[in-house]
């Protein structure tokens, strides 16, 4: 294989450029996140049972739904919450289960249980939703105007802000915190109801009958006289929207010809549908929060940037006195983490090239292994795209570690080719010397890379959540090593045959000093090694002692799934009895 590329140097250059270009093309499309996606697939089922107590919701809604969903394939466990008028079931599936298929299976299971649910629940419908990913940003809408309360801000956000944000690429859902939805509040007077011989059921029936959009038919519809030119659709205007209209709803007709209206037994006002939640921001309760969730495969940094741009575009249309503030942005920490790792990666590249230059002592000799670094690392991004990996701290750590590994094979190739050129100087061409050198070490170079792959590749197939993290780490390194092996067998010999001259020891004062001291160290080691062989047991005792100290320190080192990191914010959940 190497001989074919030595005779076709352009082919070696083109193959390297193709690997480099492939990585550069897919790099902008890779998602950016702090860590790999390790959460198992989750599907949520939500049902509304208006007016029901938590006990009634659990018995009549949650339990039948749990029994139906529990039969779905791949389900790991269920968790449910039964609250006032609301049932929520979270279905967590095994890692590796296709989320789309899981959501469809849950939907089918829910449909099969509809007959066991109350009519109100069937009428309002049941929502089955896939996991919406993780929060990427929290936006606070605040007001310094007394005329713009939370109810008005919440209504404005629902109509004019939420839909625009959900259209931003990468955004899966926007949740309103501290939401106040407009609703007609009807405060029944139990004393007056009893005096009129009515109860809450009578009020509900009257509302359902007299607050509905009814199609009353058509005028001039076929069959009609031939000279009928128009057809009119008649709609009964019974959809009420004003407290006065609700006040005139008739609850009962009295025998004396009078009527009992809703205003006679209740107080009606326009207010919020629920007052059960409270949101405060910077000490003020005049705030509405928007929690933005992103898709698991989205680029968090790109989503954050587009969200800020969208809010800046919407802000001029806000009502007077309404402002927006980014309450928290997870990409701030992600961005800093990525910058730190990228800086470490660049420093490692510079240090590796510097070490190579110190030992090879010639710019041309240094250029060859240095050329394998960008091709191997950037080409790895193409492999990451094939495996649906993201650019995160784990994969970047893998690339940082791979920086020192991808040059090993190239250095071995250069050293051996340079040695053969020096031995055969004036006797054969550089291509012939390179071919002879590669015949000697080609098997060893391949074997050394296969040993490294044998270490990292099995780690990528570890099961469970831990395996999800180490999979990206291990396979990223394995991809870099594989590309570097290809470079060592193709581009490195081609460049060595044309750039090296066989004289690669520098005459500079620094390198003369370095070579002298390195030779002194090498000679000392050569003298010491036989003494170590003669004193095997003391040397073995030192090794065993170092191993025991390492194990002792490892046992005392704190353990955890992921390191604790300061993200710059905290979330507190308080549950009352």
CB 9 within 8 A of CB 51: no
CB 248 within 8 A of CB 263: yes
What is the model's pLDDT at position 336? 79
Evaluate if residue 39 carries a pLDDT over 90: no
Distance set, CA 322 to CA 50, 90, 149, 165, 285 (Å): 33, 36, 10, 17, 14
pLDDT band with cut points at 50, 70 and 90 for residue 505: low
What is the model's pLDDT at position 223? 75
Average pLDDT, the chain: 85
pLDDT band with cut points at 50, 70 and 90 for residue 576: low
**Helices within 424-490 (DSSP H only):** 430-456, 464-489
Average the pLDDT over 209-213 and give the result: 77
Q: Can you spell out the DSSP letters for 51-75?
A: T--HHHHIIIIIHHHHHHHTTSTTE
What is the spatial distance between Cα 10 and Cα 145, in angstroms, rounded to a whole number? 71
| Number of neighbouring beta carbons within 10 Å of residue 409 | 27
What is the model's pLDDT at position 499? 80
Rg (CA), the chain: 36
pLDDT band with cut points at 50, 70 and 90 for residue 208: confident
Fill in the DSSP letter of residue 257. S
Q: 166-191 pLDDT, tens per residue? A: 999 988 888 888 878 888 889 999 99
Average the pLDDT over 312-335 and give the result: 88
Q: Can you spell out the DSSP letters for 472-494?
A: HHHHHHHHHHHHHHHHHHTHHHH
**Helices within 329-362 (DSSP H only):** 330-360
> Which span out of 31-35, 75-79, 174-178, 393-397 was modeled with the highest average pLDDT?
75-79
What is the model's pLDDT at position 23? 92
Evaluate if residue 212 carries a pLDDT over 80: no
Q: At what angle do helices 363-386 and 393-403 cross, to 10 degrees?
A: 150
What is the spatial distance between Cα 141 and Cα 157, in angstroms, rounded to a whole number? 8
282 phi-psi bin (left φ>0, alpha ψ -120 to 50, beta other): left
Looking at 313-430, which runs of residues are DSSP E strands?
322-329
Sole residue written with tokens 């109350």: 118
Is the alpha carbon torsion for 391, 395, 397, 403 positive or negative?
negative
Average the pLDDT over 495-518 and give the result: 77
To the nearest whole percent, how much of the chain has pLDDT over 90? Answer: 24
What is the model's pLDDT at position 279? 83
What is the spatial distance between Cα 29 and Cα 211, in angstroms, rounded to a whole number? 52
Q: 354 versus 464: which is more confidently predicted?
A: 354
Query: For the chain, how far is it from start to end, CA to CA, in angstroms?
Result: 73
Of the candidates 434, 473, 428, the residue with the CA atom closest to the CA atom of residue 455: 473
What is the model's pLDDT at position 72? 92
What is the spatial distance between Cα 353 and Cα 369, in angstroms, rounded to a whole number? 8
Report the DSSP beta bridge partners of residue 176. Answer: 290
Evaluate if residue 237 carries a pLDDT over 80: no
What is the model's pLDDT at position 282? 82
What is the model's pLDDT at position 503? 56
What is the model's pLDDT at position 95? 79
Of the candidates 37, 56, 49, 40, the residue with the CA atom closest to the CA atom of residue 90: 40
């Amino acid at each position: 294989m190497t001989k074919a590329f030595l005779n076709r140097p352009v082919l070696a250059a083109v193959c390297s450029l193709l690997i480099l270009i492939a990585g550069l093309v897919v790099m902008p499309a890779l998602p950016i996140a702090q860590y790999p996606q390790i959460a198992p697939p989750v599907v949520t089922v939500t049902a509304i049972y208006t007016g029901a107590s938590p006990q009634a919701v659990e018995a009549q809604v949650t339990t039948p739904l749990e029994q139906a969903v529990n039969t779905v394939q791949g389900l790991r466990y269920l968790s449910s919450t039964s609250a006032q008028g609301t049932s929520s079931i979270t279905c967590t599936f095994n890692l590796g289960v296709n989320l789309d298929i899981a959501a469809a299976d849950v939907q089918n299971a829910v449909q099969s249980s509809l007959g066991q649910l109350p009519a109100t629940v069937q009428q309002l419908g049941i929502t089955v939703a896939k996991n919406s990913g993780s929060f990427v940003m929290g936006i606070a809408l605040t007001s310094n105007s007394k005329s713009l309360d939370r109810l008005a801000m919440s209504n404005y956000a629902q109509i004019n802000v939420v839909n625009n944000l959900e259209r931003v690429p990468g955004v899966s859902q926007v949740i309103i915190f501290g939401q106040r939805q407009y609703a007609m509040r009807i405060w029944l007077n139990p004393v007056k109801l009893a005096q009129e011989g009515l109860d809450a059921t009578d009020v509900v029936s009257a509302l359902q009958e007299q607050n509905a959009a009814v199609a009353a038919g058509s005028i001039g519809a076929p069959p009609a006289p031939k000279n009928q030119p128009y057809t009119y659709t008649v709609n009964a205007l019974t959809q009420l929207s004003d407290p006065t209209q609700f006040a005139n709803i008739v609850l009962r007709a009295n025998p004396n010809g009078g009527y009992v209206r809703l205003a006679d037994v209740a107080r009606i006002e326009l207010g919020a549908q629920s007052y059960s939640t409270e949101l405060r921001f910077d000490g003020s309760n005049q705030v509405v929060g928007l929690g933005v969730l992103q898709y698991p495969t989205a680029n968090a940094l790109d989503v954050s940037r587009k969200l800020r741009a969208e809010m800046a575009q919407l802000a001029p249309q806000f009502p007077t006195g309404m402002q927006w503030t980014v309450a928290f942005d997870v990409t701030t920490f992600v961005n800093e983490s990525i910058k730190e790792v990228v800086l470490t990666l660049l420093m490692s590249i510079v240090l590796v090239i510097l070490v190579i230059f110190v030992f090879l002592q010639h710019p041309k000799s240094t250029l060859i292994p240095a050329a394998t670094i960008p091709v191997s690392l950037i080409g790895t991004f193409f492999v990451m795209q094939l495996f649906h990996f993201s650019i995160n701290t784990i994969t970047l750590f893998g690339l940082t570690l791979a920086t020192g590994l991808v040059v090993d094979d190239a250095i071995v190739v250069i050293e051996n080719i340079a040695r053969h050129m020096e031995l055969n100087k004036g006797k054969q061409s550089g291509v012939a010397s390179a071919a002879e050198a590669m015949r000697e070490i080609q098997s060893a170079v391949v074997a050394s890379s296969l040993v490294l792959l044998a270490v990292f590749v099995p780690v990528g197939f570890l099961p469970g959540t831990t395996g999800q993290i180490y999979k990206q780490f291990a396979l990223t390194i394995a991809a870099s090593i594989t590309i570097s092996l290809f470079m060592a067998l193709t581009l490195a010999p081609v460049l060595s045959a044309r750039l090296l001259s066989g004289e690669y020891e520098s005459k500079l004062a620094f390198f003369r000093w370095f070579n002298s001291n390195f030779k002194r160290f090498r000679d000392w080691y050569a003298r010491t090694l036989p003494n170590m062989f003669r004193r095997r047991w003391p040397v073995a005792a030192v090794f065993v002692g170092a191993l025991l100290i390492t194990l002792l320190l490892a046992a005392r080192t704190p353990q955890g799934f992921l390191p604790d990191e300061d993200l710059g914010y905290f979330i507190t959940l308080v549950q009352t009895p």
